[in-house]
Structure 1
Amino acid sequence: MSATAGIWDMAKRHDHDELQQQGNRMMQSMERYPADASGIWQGEHLFLGCHDQWVTPESVHQRMPHYDSVRRLAITGDVIIDNREELFSQLGLNASMHDIPDIMLLLHAYDKWGEQMPRYLNGDFAFAIWDESRQQLFLARDWSGNRTLYYYQTAEKFIFASTMEALFQTGDVSKKLSTPWMAEFLTTVAMEESTDIQATVYEQIKQLPPAHAMILSADKSSIYQYGTLLPDEPLRLKSDGEYVEAFRDVYSRVIRAKLRTRHGVAATLSGGLDSGSVVSYAAKILSGQNKPIYTYSFVPIPGFKDWTSSRLMANERPYIEETVKHVSRIHPVHDHYMNFADRSPLSEVEHWLSLMEMPYKYFENSFWIRGIFEQAQQQGAGVLLTGARGNFTISWGPAIEYYGEMLKKFQWIKLYQEMKLYSQNAGIRRKKIIQQIQQSAFPRLSRTTRDLGRPDALKWINPELAERTGMAERVRRAELELVGSDTMSDQDIRLDKFSNLATANKDGAVTSKISMGYGVWERDPTNDPRVIKFCLSVPYNQYVQNGMDRALIRRATAGDLPDKIRLNQKVRGLQPADWVQRMLPMWPAFTSEIREICQDPAAAAWMNTSNIMEALNEVGDSPSAEAAFNPATRLLMRSLIMGRFIRSLA
């Protein structure tokens, strides 16, 4: 969670002091982030800086940036490496060196593998290595983009940093908005920002994409993808039990690596399988150590009346308490249930715009995510474990689609047996299950695009802008790349989640910036490259078995989670269903600001203010809690966020 910066004056236009002054301004802009130490290094026409956070035991007292006079290599970065033991073996390092910091391990890896070294790394990283002998700068970003790396590049100068604000401090970079990025952001129904994985909200600033590296010399530069998260081949084992044991082995090794910190250990905890499995496995690993697990769980505000369906659970506390009770038999768990009654998505807008440095769409959870990081910071946590990506890795297993495949393959006897068990486990009538299977197996015959109720992708953007720039048609095509076509299978959508780097850009930026902002490193074992590749290689029939969806994680947590959680197929958690109710005391101020934004020419140049006002009239002055799922309500909140961002640039 270090904040890094660098300048290479390739044209040699600045003397030593001028370059240092520019670099120091970059560093000063990042003093808002917690740091254990700060340092700079200057070579000939090169500046490197780092506000360093010592998260792991090995990082204490490391010097960042670091210069290796023997190899003539300088390095700065934000790095935590999870496969240290594997690297020590591959690099032939002896036991006396096993306490070296991760950043030093990277220099050994670069010395052996050169520009191919990122493909050997597992962890979260964004770093730059100055190869003095070659007069070459090498930069890389991790597989999932969990560390950010922004840059500004001309033929004469290259500037990079962990934040965009640091680039502005040099005086070389303007805050002119990128029209293509803004147009895609305003028209992409999904949470992603832009299909251009190098673009940012600002025209002059680019980002190094996830799973990419960059080689830069005075006369040329190249960016390349060093690997993919998709598996090389499917996994074939002899029995169901072997798949479970193989999963447990990979998952345990990954969680053990994520627990490496010199501080405390915290975790988010819901009433489901993903975060529950993370906490239960972590408890076994920490058993016997004097390091309890602090868990943080969101619960609705007092007085909230659950308006959701009987198959949804807005308050997961009873299920969470079951998990805590079960896991505490192995290792101490200090559970915290927080409603953040004084917060709402509206109260968080200024903080998140400052943190993210760009507009955002994921406002519903913003208040409790920030609150949990604040709590983890106050209680001295170094890492915050999550299971955010589990739905597509460890707990994947859409039963209905699998049964649809069985139907098409005429496996009717086995299908009947599965349906009978699934009906009992999930509490759904078989007639309804049959209808769902038919729709999954033959989607084009059972539904139309209109039936899907897809949101209008052009509802938010200024129509004149969409027409004038030609972005309307482009974004329609781009949306298919981001969220999948109407007939994409669950398997296709799953694979797209890990091959589509636009998704990684969005998720990674949130992880990086909130971790850096609070000095607590978010670590998600369900999004580790080793877990992803393993889970994607496992056959479909391991994920749906004996009337169970998500069958692999259910079997792999036998004894680790209570059966009430492990075998639950009847209800699932929903967060947060109370966000509109939270905003009701501020609703007059909220609607007043929406009207002001719609009257502002700067905002109207980008957004369709007529549609926003229609949405305001639809939602009204006193919406019910159920309005949380109304697309019109979401449009209003997103418009306020965008409006504040645009007006902040005036």
Structure 2
Amino acid sequence: MIFGEFIRDPHAQRYSEQIIELSTQGRLTEIIPADVCSHWHDEQTTFVQQTLFNTAQSKTENGPIYDSETKLTVVAWARIDNRDELAELLKIDLDDVLRCDPWFILKSYQQWGEQCVDYLIGDFVFVIFDRRAQKIFCARDHMGVRPFYYHLSEKRFIFGSHLAFFHQLECCELKPSSQWIADYLTGLSMSFTETPYPAIAKLAPAHCLTVMTKQSSVRPYFQFSTENTLKLNDSREYVDAYREQLEATIQCRVHSDYLIGSELSGGIDSSTITAYAAQFLAKPQQQLHAFAFTSCELEPEYIHAICQSTKLASTHVFTRANYEPDQRLELITKALDIFGYPQEHGNGTGHEPFYQMAEQLNIRTLLSGHGGDEFVTASAGLVLAELYHEGRYLELYNAVKGNAFTRLLRTLKIIANNYNNKTYNKRFQTAFSQRWRYQLVKQHWVEQYDLQSRYLKNAEYDAPYKTLNDFTLQNRWAPFVSTRMENCTLMAASHNIEYRWPLLDVRLIKLFLSIPSIEKYNHGVSRLLHRRAINDVVHHKVAWKPSKDMGPVYKLQDKSEVKPCLINIEKLHPQLSELIDVQKLRKQLSQSTQTHRSAVTNASFQNLKNINNLLWLNQWLHRYH
């Protein structure tokens, strides 16, 4: 992880001593541990780097790297996945191949300047101080795996890998935004760039930031294309091309000097990652551990199919954690110390049982299938609408399932459904409209922050889009993708674990988007390209499972009342009391105490969700404000 300061105004107060003190006294590693924590500084700049050993190359990292010849200093939290390609382009000697990843970043900047980001593939955030040019150059990886927070003013630029760093440093006014709090209460707070504090921003995925003494600029260095540009001879060639890239993206992420963990839900995404990881590891029975939750009745069947077919010896299966109120408060407090503000994606703390077990086993890599649903394993049903809008009616007829007559009827239905432009997905519109009535924000703030229309916009889902790629890039490539990674990455790091997300490899997604949509859905079979590619590796029961359905949720025999971690209204933070309808909250609290485990309804679920959100906000505001 990385932290630091760059002084823009020579007369400004410096925080270098405080930053170095946080490093040397171990206050940063109290939050997230590291094998090495070191710093570099001069009269204008201070860099701190925490390194967790994982690969052989990472063990050569000793902190920020300074090159005396070019007067460049780099600090990085990075795993570079195209080292061999870079070594060839940079004409690096074989003796240097085992150099650490930040060294490759430094050499890339020396060769290409700010365009170095065009050549880097992996999970990274880095900052380079170019002393001769008197500038700072920062970049964040394509998908936003590793977070990067910063404060920029006329006097200084301060950055860190987590926002909790800014609470420790107290370098700027951290006044919570009321709009962010209202957004959080209604599920609208996730953002590529915004945080709860107007003084702190996030660098968006695939963006770089240049800071000089008198000017600064943020720019994207990469954008996906919606065009299906790849033209091959037949379907087999598309499958082969996709399989080759899929294998490469997983293989480059199983390098570690420690044991490997892999999430395994029994779904196609996590099963793909686990099965291929087992194939690429020399001794998977000793090196690979799978981690699973089972909440639904069919999940064990599919998890078992993968474990048996890959001969996994170690699979750790958990039921969903049901914390007692005091345990829940303890976990929230821990997470606030790591994040510096409320968790925005539940998997951050929701996977805490995985992290704890993995840490005990000295596992330092945890693989996840997250991102598949949003990109390469999307259901792709929109392909049929795409064929209609492009006037490819014969292909549309051939793509639907059934006999000649039923295919004709289904084709006519698709034409009728897409003849008029749709604004909302009806199923989503119904669901979101029903949920809205349980929200707690006062009407005055709902109107001022335009909460209702922004919330109901989620019900558009796939309705406005005419192509699969437009839907993917304009709807599914959204802040919730990177927010989940931010929360999970930091929470796992507190247990000495590096999360890796193979299905969010930029090369794989770029290839997937370039392949004609008809290769991804045909004869009623969704995820077709991916299924064909994994057919020889992933158990057929999972690879060709017709839907994501895992059966009903287990019926709990415990008839006792749910014991949510309830909010004490009398101790509600004033900023929350100003925003929410307290009487409505009282009613929901009363209903929540009467909810039985075996009879959770939509209303009770929404009530419990509201209470959980308030709990996070209340703990955060009281802890820091």
Aligned with 1:402 (options 383, 396, 402): 383
In 1, Cα distance between the equivalents of 2:463 and 2:549? 24
Pick closer, same or farther for the CA change 1:489–1:383 going to 2, 3 Å: farther
Secondary structure, aligned partner of 1:108: helix
One-letter identity of the residue aligned with 2:76: G
Deviations 1:584-633 (A, max 9, x none): 86845634x26446x65332123333333343455561234452654333
Deviations 1:374-431 (A, max 9, x none): 21222122211111111122322334x434555675747963773228999xxxx999
Contact 2:181 2:196 in 1 (8 A): yes
Consecutive unaligned residues of structure 2, counting only runs of 5 or more, are none
In 2, Cα distance between the equivalents of 1:211 and 1:531? 15
Contact 1:407 1:441 in 2 (8 A): no
Q: How does 1:504-515 map to 2 (within 5 A)?
A: 504-515=481-492
The equivalent residue for 2:510 is 533
RMSD: 3.6
Aligned with 1:6 (options 4, 7, 29): 4
The equivalent residue for 2:352 is 370
Contact 2:267 2:548 in 1 (8 A): no
In 2, Cα distance between the equivalents of 1:422 and 1:620? 56
Deviation, 1:573, is: 3.4
The equivalent residue for 2:581 is 608
Contact 1:231 1:537 in 2 (8 A): yes
The equivalent residue for 1:562 is 539
In 2, Cα distance between the equivalents of 1:85 and 1:583? 56
- Of stretches 231-240 and 542-551 in structure 1, the one that deviates more from structure 2 is 231-240
Pick closer, same or farther for the CA change 1:105–1:457 going to 2, 3 Å: farther
One-letter identity of the residue aligned with 2:112: W
| TM-score, normalised with respect to structure 1 | 0.84
One-letter identity of the residue aligned with 2:502: P
In 1, Cα distance between the equivalents of 2:36 and 2:397? 61
Aligned with 1:516 (options 488, 493, 511): 493
In 2, Cα distance between the equivalents of 1:631 and 1:202? 27
In 1, Cα distance between the equivalents of 2:47 and 2:392? 63
One-letter identity of the residue aligned with 1:319: Y
In 2, Cα distance between the equivalents of 1:15 and 1:636? 42
Deviation, 1:222, is: 1.1
The equivalent residue for 2:365 is 383
In 2, Cα distance between the equivalents of 1:179 and 1:547? 47
Secondary structure, aligned partner of 1:384: strand
Q: How does 1:55-454 map to 2 (within 5 A)?
A: 55-188=54-187, 192-194=189-191, 197-230=192-225, 234-287=229-282, 292-300=287-295, 313-328=296-311, 332-339=312-319, 343=323, 347=328, 348-363=331-346, 365=347, 368-399=350-381, 401-405=382-386, 409=391, 411=393, 415=397, 418-420=400-402, 439=417, 444=422, 451=430, 453-454=432-433
In 2, Cα distance between the equivalents of 1:260 and 1:495? 30
Deviation, 1:433, is: 11
Q: Is structure 2 residue 3 aligned with structure 1 residue 30?
A: no
Pick closer, same or farther for the CA change 1:396–1:460 going to 2, 3 Å: same
Pick closer, same or farther for the CA change 1:289–1:372 going to 2, 3 Å: closer
Contact 1:265 1:291 in 2 (8 A): no
Q: Is structure 2 residue 472 aligned with structure 1 residue 494?
A: yes
In 2, Cα distance between the equivalents of 1:201 and 1:324? 42
Contact 1:88 1:98 in 2 (8 A): yes
Secondary structure, aligned partner of 1:30: helix
Pick closer, same or farther for the CA change 1:294–1:505 going to 2, 3 Å: closer
In 1, Cα distance between the equivalents of 2:38 and 2:49? 6
Pick closer, same or farther for the CA change 1:537–1:618 going to 2, 3 Å: farther
Q: Is structure 2 residue 18 aligned with structure 1 residue 21?
A: yes
Secondary structure, aligned partner of 1:419: coil
In 2, Cα distance between the equivalents of 1:622 and 1:63? 54
In 1, Cα distance between the equivalents of 2:569 and 2:108? 56
Pick closer, same or farther for the CA change 1:125–1:586 going to 2, 3 Å: farther
- Of stretches 600-609 and 403-412 in structure 1, the one that deviates more from structure 2 is 403-412
One-letter identity of the residue aligned with 1:351: K
The equivalent residue for 2:436 is 456
Consecutive unaligned residues of structure 1, counting only runs of 5 or more, are 301-312
Secondary structure, aligned partner of 1:391: coil
The equivalent residue for 2:594 is 621
Deviation, 1:464, is: 3.0
Deviations 1:75-94 (A, max 9, x none): 11211111111111222223
Pick closer, same or farther for the CA change 1:596–1:431 going to 2, 3 Å: farther
Aligned with 2:528 (options 543, 548, 551): 551
Pick closer, same or farther for the CA change 1:422–1:402 going to 2, 3 Å: farther
Contact 1:229 1:498 in 2 (8 A): no
Deviations 1:506-544 (A, max 9, x none): 133213312321221111110110111111222111111
Contact 2:561 2:596 in 1 (8 A): no
One-letter identity of the residue aligned with 2:18: Q
In 2, Cα distance between the equivalents of 1:137 and 1:236? 41
Contact 1:81 1:124 in 2 (8 A): yes
Deviation, 1:193, is: 2.0
One-letter identity of the residue aligned with 2:578: A
The equivalent residue for 2:41 is 42
Deviation, 1:172, is: 2.1
The equivalent residue for 1:306 is none
In 1, Cα distance between the equivalents of 2:423 and 2:365? 49
Pick closer, same or farther for the CA change 1:619–1:19 going to 2, 3 Å: closer
In 1, Cα distance between the equivalents of 2:445 and 2:219? 33
One-letter identity of the residue aligned with 2:129: W
In 2, Cα distance between the equivalents of 1:93 and 1:528? 25
Deviations 1:94-136 (A, max 9, x none): 3222111101000110011111111221111111111111121
Of all paired residues, the percent bearing the same amino acid is 21
